[in-house]
Amino acid sequence: MASDYPLAEATPSAKLSAPVEVVSCKNPAASPLSRIWELEPASDCGTFGLRGYRPISLAIIGSDSVNTASSSPAAGHTASFQPYTTSETRINLSVRTKIAQGLLTGGDPNRLDSLWFAYSQQSYWQLFNADLSRPFRATDHEPELIYIFPVESALPSGWRLRYGGIGINHQSNGQSLPLSRSWNRIIGRAGLELGNQVSITGALWQRIPEDSAGDDNPDIVDRIGRAELTAAWNIDPRNSLTVTLRHALQGSDSGSVRLAWFKKIGSAADNGNRSSLRLHTELFSGYGDSLMDYNRQRTVFSVGLTLLDW
Catalytically annotated residues: 170, 172
Pairwise CA distance, residues 170 & 233, whole Å: 29
Q: Is the peptide bond before 178 cis (omega within 30 degrees of 0)?
A: yes
List, in sequence order, every residue forming a beta bridge with 123; answer none if it has no partner.
Answer: 91, 139
Strand, helix or coil for residue 64: coil
139 — phi, psi (to 5°)? -135, 125
54 — phi, psi (to 5°)? -80, 170
- The per-residue DSSP string of 135-201 comes to -EEEEEEEEEEEEEEEEEEE-GGGEEEEEEEEEEEEEE--PPTTS--EEEEEEEEEEEEETTTEEEE
Pairwise CA distance, residues 29 & 22, whole Å: 8
Pairwise CA distance, residues 17 & 194, whole Å: 17
Q: Is residue 113 within 8 Å of residue 148, measured between CB atoms?
A: yes
Tally of CB atoms within 10 A around 108: 13
240 — phi, psi (to 5°)? -140, 150
Pairwise CA distance, residues 73 & 185, whole Å: 20
Pairwise CA distance, residues 25 & 152, whole Å: 18
List, in sequence order, every residue forming a beta bridge with 257; answer none if it has no partner.
Answer: 245, 285
